Amino acid sequence: MAITGASGAPYAQRLAQQIVNSDAHLHLIISPPGRKLLFDELGLRQVSVATLVGRSVPNATLYAYRDIGAKLASGSFLTDGMAICPCSSNRLASVAGGLGDNLIDRAAAVTLKQARRLILVHREMPLSQIDIANMLRLSQAGAVICPASPGFYLLPKTVNDLVDFVVGRVLDLLGVPHDLDIRWEPAESARAASAQDPDQTE
């Protein structure tokens, strides 16, 4: 998992928490703008796995951003996939360009090369034609473009509900089990609608 500088630190924090709560190992890379983001939006002055997820955990490793010699830079190191959350337009462009002068871009390139799932949780809007072209290029290369676009059909009541909706979708794409409430249940929706409108008929 990588964290970059687009606004959306709550998504990153919740995703990291859910990964370490599962049986998966969290391999974490944070860009310099990502560190600033964690301070600006979450108030994290000292960034570590423990401060991000709220406790010390054995199943997580934080890597240096510039360490292109780390094991994540090698296709021989097995992973289930990679999520960049949030993904800035700048990071979108560098991954689409196949650059590899830092560990995030290098790990992303390796993920694509090994035909593993690369998920880009782009959050910036509106999109420029450059962003759209980069998304198309990455999609054609095998990446999954997963914009941070929460749905409202589950009738969210808090910001955390919206965050969980996006994070749950990312976890599903990674194949990481979770118990976040993101599943559409038509029967429950019909009951809720009937409760709001007693005159509604089927």
Q: Which two tokens stand for residue 160?
A: 């955390």
Q: Which two tokens stand for residue 10?
A: 């709550």
149-to-122, 145, 152, 180 alpha-carbon distances in Å: 9, 11, 10, 16
Q: In this structure, which topology does domain 2-196 adopt according to CATH?
A: Rossmann fold (3.40.50)
Q: What confidence score (pLDDT) does residue 103 get?
A: 98
Strand partners, 61: 27
Which amino acid type is present at position 134? N
Beta strands 2-3 and 26-30, pairing class = parallel
Q: Name the pTM for this structure.
A: 0.91
- pLDDT digits (tens), the chain, 202 positions: 999 999 999 999 999 999 999 989 999 999 999 999 999 999 999 999 999 999 999 999 999 999 999 999 999 999 999 999 999 999 999 999 998 999 999 999 999 999 999 999 999 999 999 999 999 999 999 999 999 999 999 999 999 999 999 999 999 999 999 999 888 888 665 555 566 665 554 4
- Determine the Cα–Cα distance for residues 38 and 3; give it in Å rounded to an integer: 9
In the chain, where are the structural domains located?
2-196
Q: What confidence score (pLDDT) does residue 189 get?
A: 55
